């Protein structure tokens, strides 16, 4: 399956973001597991089911980092399951951050990673043609319009009774 040029750019951006999310999650997991939070006070875990950062670190690395990495690899290999995997990874990141907020409170870094999950979901919708206006407006902004046959393929039918 050959993607139009703009879809290739969106796909490439998505792979970069997924790999960034994976590496960040793996680094956070190492800090949590090996260094027991790397200077984050254990008091942050008061009122949570955790007495150390080991279990949260494992969840961060395996679940969040693992889904981000798997989705990135699926996109690179053009797996038919890639869109679903990207959606799971994006929602997984958002759920992780939401849970973290509920359990330990706010940090500015959480805004970045919650936003990362949102951007991943928007980009996968664009790749699926569910949000084609995003891709088209991005191309127009950069001085390139999508060809009419491409835009008509992703546009909803008009005049449906």
* Extents of the domains making up the chain: 5-39+52-144
Q: What is the per-residue pLDDT across 136-160, written as a single tens digit (0 to 9) for each?
A: 555 555 555 545 455 444 544 445 4
pTM of the model: 0.78
Q: What is the per-residue pLDDT across 67-100, written as a single tens digit (0 to 9) for each?
A: 999 999 999 999 999 999 999 999 999 999 999 9
55 neighbors 32 (Cβ within 8 angstroms): no
Q: Strand runs (DSSP E) across the chain, as ranges?
A: none
Residue 160 CA: distances (Å) to CA of 4, 68, 74, 88, 113? 27, 39, 36, 33, 40
């Amino acid at each position: 399956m050959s993607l139009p040029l703009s879809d290739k750019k969106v796909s490439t951006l998505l792979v970069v973001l997924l790999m960034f999310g994976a590496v960040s999650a793996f680094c956070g997991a190492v800090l949590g597991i090996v260094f027991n939070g790397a200077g984050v006070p254990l008091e942050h875990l008061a009122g949570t089911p955790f007495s150390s950062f080991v279990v949260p670190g494992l969840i961060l690395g395996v679940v969040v980092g693992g889904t981000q990495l798997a989705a990135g690899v699926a996109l690179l290999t053009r797996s038919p399951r890639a869109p679903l995997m990207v959606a799971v990874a994006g929602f997984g990141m958002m759920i992780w951050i939401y849970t973290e907020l509920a359990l330990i409170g706010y940090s500015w870094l959480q805004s970045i990673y919650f936003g990362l999950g949102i951007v991943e979901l928007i980009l996968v919708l664009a790749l699926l043609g569910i949000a084609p206006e995003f891709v088209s407006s991005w191309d127009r902004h950069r001085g390139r319009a999508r060809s009419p046959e491409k835009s008509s393929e992703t546009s909803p039918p008009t005049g449906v009774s």
